[in-house]
Homo-oligomer: A and B are copies of this chain.
Amino acid sequence: MSQHSPIQYCRDCGTAVAYRLPDDGDTRERAVCPNCGRVHYENPLNVVGTVPVLPDGRVLLCLRAIEPRRGKWTLPAGFMELGETTSQGAARETDEEAGAQIALGPLFAVLNVQRVGQVHLFYRAHLLSERLDPGFETLEARFFTEDEVPWDELAFRTVKETLVRFFADRRTGSYGVHCVDID
């Protein structure tokens, strides 16, 4: 899963790279190709997902069929792809992991997971139907009232922190955009 092991070879020409300060004034050591000169950067990745909610208030969670955290419950989410916006990616992941029909709502949470180089962005979403069609990454997709949420069986801190804030905001009747740093 980690995409951040050190770069060893140039993606453009296959030559072994050297870690050094580039010549452009950059103050960090980068993987620089001694053959073609390409400077290779490693940057954080975005994970995009949704908090999908039925008209009766139940929230959709997916039981993970893949590592990491196989057998734990998650909100539908996954790595943002080139060629899509954060909201398009969130909708795509909701379709891929749950086969859920949704109307995408506003941005709800931005969570930094600094330790693994990830930023997670969750959007609220209205489920348009109870019909689901989980993909291969999901063992089971199911709706939960707040009381039914399996808090001790959630796959990720990001999911827990997002759900806690969602239910808290819902009680107040007003939703914010939450920024959370996960240790």
Contacts and interface: CB of A to CB of B under 8 A. Distances in A.
A41 B79 contact: yes
Could you say which interface size class chain A belongs to? 35 or more
A78 to B, nearest CB: 11
Interface string A65-103: 010000000000001111111111000000010000000
B181 A79 contact: no
A73 to B, nearest CB: 20
Interface in A7-25: 7-16, 24-25
Nearest to A82: B117
Nearest to A45: B43
Interface string A107-137: 1001010100101010000000000000111
